[in-house]
């Protein structure tokens, strides 16, 4: 066993504290990664708080991991010691079902194994995430991080990046299309950057007046304050697509109304409660689609990282020490982060 130090929650809604735990010894197809940085996703907070049910404790969160390969198993061919790599939300899947065969491991019929708050297939041991010094992951779930990207700012690409890239690609959004992005947080700001790099016209919907200028600097063509009824009304039937990143239950009808005929709203924000009734007449009378999307497969994650490498795209981050993680959670819930906290794992090693 490999002894590992991390920060985690010992129970539901508990503050994160220092703890140590074992990682499995390297199997033939495993890669041992010395973690350098880990992003703080709103999903980490949902899972610590057991918002979605079924959380396993103690829980070391973190699925936006970047680091350096320290050691590889005897059958590993793709990576070697010293490589700059990343690990996102997944660490295993069955590799046999139709979704896995289509490189869509996130929709694996057996249930993909999450980087944390999940159980390894064979041992049943709880997986633990990237707020820690090292991680052991099978080769197929490791991706290569382009070396021209700032490593800390690249970390959130492993979840915020792929979760927004995947629906853009799946629904074939392209130059000339009009896309609305709801919520300017970690996911939302990446949706803006990625869509702009593909010449998609972007309108940001935000509840935060202080983010309007930022949204424009990030590349948004238009910004709407969603609490302003007149601004919302002016958007009626304007958009081809909406990507909705909001982490709390809110009024979806007002965004469905912003879609043109045949428009599609893709939900990626996953709140703690189900949505109440949705006005289906808006869907029926204008042939609109309400859809959802979960992260992205490993092949697509690599494609997204390569795209970001070519276009010099990284996240806007606030680097923190692990000791500040509980304050960072509080600020994320309040929408007070520009636009992703990233933990410098060196702070963990220093104690």
Question: Least Å distance between CB 240 and ligand NAP?
Answer: 20
**DSSP character string of 159-187:** THHHHHHHHHHHTT--TT-EEEEE--SHH
Whole-number Cα distances in Å, 220 to 184, 187, 189, 202, 203: 11, 14, 9, 5, 6
- Distance (Å, rounded) from C-alpha 290 to C-alpha 16? 36
Give the Cα-Cα-Cα angle 220, 226, 228 (nearest 5 degrees): 120
Nearer of residues 44 and 240 to Zn ion, judged by Cβ:
44
The pattern of x and - marking residues 165 through 204 that bind ligand NAP according to CB under 6 A reads: ------------------xxxxxx----------------
Nearer of residues 58 and 335 to ligand NAP, judged by Cβ:
335
Q: Which does 186 bind (CB under 5 to 8 A by kind): Zn ion, ligand NAP, none?
A: ligand NAP
Strands (E), the chain: 2-8, 17-23, 30-39, 65-72, 84-87, 90-92, 113-114, 134-138, 143-144, 178-182, 201-206, 222-225, 239-244, 259-267, 289-292, 317-321, 340-344
Question: Least Å distance between CB 349 and ligand NAP?
Answer: 26
Nearer of residues 41 and 259 to Zn ion, judged by Cβ:
41
Say if residues 192 and 202 touch (Cβ distance below 8 Å).
yes
Q: Which of 163, 201, 257, 302 binds ligand NAP (CB under 6 A)?
A: 163
- Distance (Å, rounded) from C-alpha 243 to C-alpha 171? 11
Binders in 37-66 for Zn ion, by CB under 5 A:
41, 43
Q: Which does 16 bind (CB under 5 to 8 A by kind): ligand NAP, Zn ion, none?
A: none
- Distance (Å, rounded) from C-alpha 300 to C-alpha 33? 21
Nearest Cα residue to 161 out of 22, 238, 62, 64 = 64
Stretch that binds ligand NAP, among 42-50, 67-75, 195-203, 280-288 (CB under 6 A): 42-50
3-class DSSP state for residue 282? helix
The pattern of x and - marking residues 273 through 292 that bind ligand NAP according to CB under 6 A reads: --------------------
117 binds ligand NAP (CB under 6 A): no
Whole-number Cα distances in Å, 326 to 11, 104, 231: 14, 33, 36
Nearer of residues 23 and 46 to ligand NAP, judged by Cβ:
46
Nearer of residues 31 and 62 to ligand NAP, judged by Cβ:
62
Nearer of residues 272 and 310 to ligand NAP, judged by Cβ:
272
- Distance (Å, rounded) from C-alpha 11 to C-alpha 144? 34
- Distance (Å, rounded) from C-alpha 154 to C-alpha 156? 6
Q: Which of 294, 321, 323, 347 binds ligand NAP (CB under 6 A)?
A: 294
254 binds ligand NAP (CB under 6 A): no
Q: How many residues line the site for Zn ion (CB under 5 A)? A: 3
Q: Which does 180 bind (CB under 5 to 8 A by kind): Zn ion, ligand NAP, none?
A: none
Q: What is the contact surface with ligand NAP in residues (CB under 6 A)?
A: 41-43, 46, 159, 163, 183-188, 206-208, 211, 245-248, 250, 268-270, 293-295, 332, 335
Q: What is the contact surface with Zn ion in residues (CB under 5 A)?
A: 41, 43, 159
């Amino acid at each position: 066993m490999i002894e590992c130090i991390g920060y985690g929650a010992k129970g539901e809604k508990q503050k994160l504290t220092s703890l140590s735990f074992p990682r499995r010894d390297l199997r033939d197809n495993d890669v041992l990664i010395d973690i350098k940085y880990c992003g703080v996703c709103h999903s980490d907070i949902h899972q610590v708080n057991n918002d979605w049910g079924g959380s396993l404790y103690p829980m070391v969160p973190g699925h936006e991991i970047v680091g350096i390969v320290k050691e590889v198993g005897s059958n590993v061919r793709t990576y070697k010691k010293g490589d700059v790599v990343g690990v996102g939300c997944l660490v295993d899947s069955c590799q046999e079902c139709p979704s896995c065969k289509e490189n869509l491991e996130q929709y694996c019929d057996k249930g993909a194994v999450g980087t944390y708050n999940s159980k390894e297939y064979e041992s049943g041991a709880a997986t633990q995430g990237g707020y820690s010094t090292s991680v052991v992951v099978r080769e197929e779930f490791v991706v290569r991080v382009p070396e021209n990207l700032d490593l800390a700012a690249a970390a959130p690409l492993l979840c915020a990046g792929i979760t927004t890239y995947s629906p853009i690609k799946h629904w074939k959004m392209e130059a000339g299309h009009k896309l609305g992005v709801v919520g300017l947080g970690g996911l939302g700001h990446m949706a803006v950057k990625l869509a702009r790099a593909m010449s998609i016209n972007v309108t940001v919907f935000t509840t935060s007046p202080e983010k309007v200028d930022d949204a424009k600097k990030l590349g948004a063509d238009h910004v709407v304050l969603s609490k302003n009824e007149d601004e919302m009304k002016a958007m009626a039937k304007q958009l081809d697509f909406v990507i909705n990143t909001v982490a709390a239950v809110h009024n979806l009808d007002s965004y469905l109304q912003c879609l043109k005929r045949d428009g599609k709203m893709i939900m990626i924000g996953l709140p703690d409660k189900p949505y109440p009734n949705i006005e289906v007449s808006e869907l029926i009378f204008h042939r609109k689609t309400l859809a959802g999307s979960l992260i992205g497969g490993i092949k697509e994650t690599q494609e997204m990282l390569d795209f970001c490498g070519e276009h010099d795209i990284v996240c806007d981050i606030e680097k923190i020490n692990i000791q500040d993680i509980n304050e960072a959670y509080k600020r994320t819930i309040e929408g007070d982060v520009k636009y992703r906290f990233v933990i410098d794992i060196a702070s963990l090693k220093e104690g």
